[in-house]
Structure 1
């Protein structure tokens, strides 16, 4: 059935004919007992399942993994966080030998995914910088450079009270974008007091924008750390009768669906599909025993001009 030079053409043809007539397929469970391989990899997204359906970044992650597995026989196991689930549940599943490798996206510090993967020795690649960069492999966009580009765009436009809507600060992407916003404004001699924390969702962006307008009514520029939060901020600004960009300029981050807003959102490109495809390629090499570089793959962000800034 596996072919090879020691199989005669006649025997090979007879076996192939039998396989076709019987509709035979190898039993993966039985095969894994011999090979010690499951022929499966996990995509771990420690977020509620509703986020996969509504967040274009997570949808891009799923698409990138799917494209990266094209041409292989590997199965994809999608692991999501369930509401009320205790930290460590996903990590325990991964340690139980159900998959050969792991891709992790949108992880939070308290998920305990990092330390569990390190102790398990399971091949893993993170999409987004993990907190432990010495041990774990990862692919990322330069979030600090992207945050600086976005903030600088607002400063160069002439904004003098620039606010930010951060992502969750237990995620490295949100931390890097927030730090870049602070550093860029400090270099420009501008205040860094207008801060509202969000959660990378439209609703979270709207709540944060409401807070900013109450606490800092003179804000004339906003850097939202994701396009979804920028969309929520845009809705609030419109409801308050504020014109974008005339009264308040707005820049997002991701460039995933930003063309659907009115005005079209100025944003920073995060090439998520390319990032995830690269992470998947690296993981396949690791699972296959192919030597892979330990240095992270960092993609360069760029500003995508819209009409909001």
Structure 2
């Protein structure tokens, strides 16, 4: 279960379950999409995906899905979900399911639930968090899904109103979500052995790394500077569009572009960074959807030596 942390944002408490519940999202959150439907039938996840099955609670009502982009470098999926869960519990809701990534069911869970397509909503299959909750009377439901890239958080909130009592969303005036180094030595490269450089941007149709600063590269350079014995490989990945031969070339060229930027801008020694490409041979999501293909197009940093 997701822990119940300190409530970071102000909220309007449920008044005898008769008033509107105000849920606040982090300061600076930008609405990327909102979709609504009347008298919709909705399946609300009530347990993790296990053995080919997702437990759900079926309901019906007016449904609104709102997606946000939260520009806070280092924010985690749990940073986004925990305050919402706290607000729901304080407002009289009962949590049906609170989970993170693999505890939810990983890939299978993600693709069993409704998610708005990118760029409105992005889900990193290696890090997401989820909560679903029901009102005291069992008529209203709230579901929230959060994920992130290295410098941007993504949050989707689904509200199902079966009682006529609205659940309103507001933007908090401040956020106490912690900001961390996106390539932290203890939780990233040293522990997992690799990290996705999720904020990189390549010019459309090219293998050229777009101009500008990237938090992931700055953090990676800081890591290498602090750990002079480390060597890394930058590994490019593509989706499954096109031939393997072409994708191997593209993935390696993009890794080479990132390597060149690390050397030229951050002064990292050339012999400490390799560049390789594996095309579409190591996906982290299904290539059958636009979202999955977007997740597969990436460059990762992999520790290859500590001597």
Q: TM-score, with normalisation over the residues of structure 1? A: 0.28
Q: What's the TM-score, normalizing by structure 2?
A: 0.28
Q: Which is strand-richer, 1 or 2?
A: 2
More helix by share: 1
Could you say which structure has the larger radius of gyration? 1
